[in-house]
């Protein structure tokens, strides 16, 4: 597997190779121009070979120096944020260095005095100007490409997090418990067993329909939680109570799928539920900025650190859509506050899988 450093190294080598090739061609053309300007015609190649080589190598040197100067400037001035300023600073810096190098070597390369020196200086300045344009264009394009790649990687990372969450919901243990409950209901209450199967079907349909969705509406999530709550009630009866009180404007906002369900499931998994120790889960909105999930606490049946698996999953998925952090308070009650996501922060999500 090619590492990031190896890929970056190869790209740098390709840049230097391309720059050197272009500089050699440009330098040879400059050498021809200098010779023609000095004598009015092109003498035999062998008579001017030394000058051709010297001018070509000097052009390559100036090109490499300009490239290094631009690489240094890239660390201090961003093309993306200050394109015009970055362009002119790079052009002026490279033009100044180029003129100094030409002035230093003029007496060795140009025998016809100031006129040829002026002409070649103008050619180099024009070349530097064109080079800076292409450098800025290439850098901007590369920055855009990197942004696109990072976006794809972030989307893939998001989908992987969702997959882990979804995979936990369709675990064999979960399915076994549902089927076991159905088996017992068939002998006790066939009508309730039928309703249980329908609600269980709704939960699985929701999970499968949204396995590729990054966001769903709070309304959809609430309906799923209600269906899931029905399954829990069959087992815990009136000892488990879920209350949902959310305003309509909150119901139309986006939310990562299964976020509320995981919080309800955590409350059930980590508390002893019985007649003596009933459990209440309350979902409400705080100032229309946070969805608050509050659960009472009974005797814990699992270590507290196991809470972190589901909470970390929710936390990571929220970081993908919002800079606001989820708030967790473990006091006399367990409270989780989820930031309300705005519609304009919603990322472009993939279409849900067909069922």
Pick the closest to residue 279 from 223, 330, 236, 234 (CA basis): 236
Does residue 322 register a pLDDT over 70? yes
Tokens describing residue 299: 């005797």
How far is Cα of residue 144 from the mean position of the Cα atoms in its chain?
Answer: 13
- What CATH number was assigned to the domain covering residues 170-345? 3.30.565.10
Mean pLDDT of 51-61: 83
Using pLDDT thresholds of 50, 70 and 90, give the confidence band for residue 103: confident
Tell me the β-bridge partners of 279.
Answer: 240
Rounded to whole angstroms, the Cα distance separating 326 from 4 reads 33
- What pLDDT score was predicted for residue 266? 86
Helices (H) and strands (E) in the chain, counts: 10, 7
Pair 284, 321: CB distance under 8 Å: no
Residue 276 DSSP one-character state:
S
Model confidence, pTM: 0.54
Judge contact between 128 and 95, C-beta under 8 A: yes
Query: What does the pLDDT read at residue 173?
Result: 57
Residue ranges per domain, the chain?
4-153, 170-345
The residues that bridge with 280 in the sheet, in sequence order, are: 241
pLDDT > 70? residue 224: yes
What pLDDT digit, counting tens, does each position of 146-195 carry?
777 777 777 777 777 766 666 565 556 567 767 777 887 777 778 888 88
Contact 110, 46 (CB under 8 A): no
| Under 8 Å between Cβ of 293 and 283 | yes
């Amino acid at each position: 597997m090619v590492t990031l450093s190896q890929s970056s190294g190869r790209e740098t080598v390709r840049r230097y190779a391309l720059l050197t090739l272009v500089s050699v061609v440009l330098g040879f053309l400059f050498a021809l121009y200098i010779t023609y300007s000095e004598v009015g015609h092109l003498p035999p190649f062998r008579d001017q070979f030394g000058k051709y080589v010297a001018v070509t190598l000097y052009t390559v040197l100036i090109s490499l120096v300009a490239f290094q100067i631009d690489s240094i400037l890239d660390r201090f001035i961003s093309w993306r944020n200050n394109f015009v300023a970055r362009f002119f600073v790079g052009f002026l810096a490279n033009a100044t260095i180029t003129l100094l190098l030409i002035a230093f070597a003029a007496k060795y390369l140009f025998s016809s005095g100031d006129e040829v020196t002026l002409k070649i200086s103008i050619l180099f300045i024009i070349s530097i100007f064109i080079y800076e344009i292409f450098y800025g264009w290439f850098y901007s394009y590369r920055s855009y490409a990197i942004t696109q790649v990072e976006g794809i990687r972030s989307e893939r990372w998001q989908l992987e997090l969702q997959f882990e969450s979804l995979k936990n919901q369709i675990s064999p243990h979960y399915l076994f418990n549902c089927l076991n409950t159905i088996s017992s209901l068939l002998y006790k209450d066939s009508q309730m067993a039928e309703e249980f199967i329908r609600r269980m079907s709704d939960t699985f349909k929701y999970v499968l329909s949204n396995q590729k969705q990054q966001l769903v509406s709070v309304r959809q999530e609430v309906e799923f939680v209600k269906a899931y709550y029905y399954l829990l009630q069959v087992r815990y009866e009136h000892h488990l109570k879920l209350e949902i009180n959310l305003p309509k404007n909150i119901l139309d906002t986006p939310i990562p799928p299964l976020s509320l369900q995981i919080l309800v499931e955590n409350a059930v998994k980590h508390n002893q539920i019985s007649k003596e120790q009933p459990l209440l889960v309350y979902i409400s909105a705080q100032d229309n900025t946070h969805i608050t999930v509050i659960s009472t606490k009974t005797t814990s049946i699992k270590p507290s650190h196991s809470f972190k698996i589901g909470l970390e999953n929710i936390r990571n998925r929220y970081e993908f859509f919002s800079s606001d952090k989820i708030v967790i308070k473990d006091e006399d009650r367990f409270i989780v506050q989820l930031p309300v996501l705005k519609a304009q922060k919603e990322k472009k999500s993939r279409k849900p899988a067909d069922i």
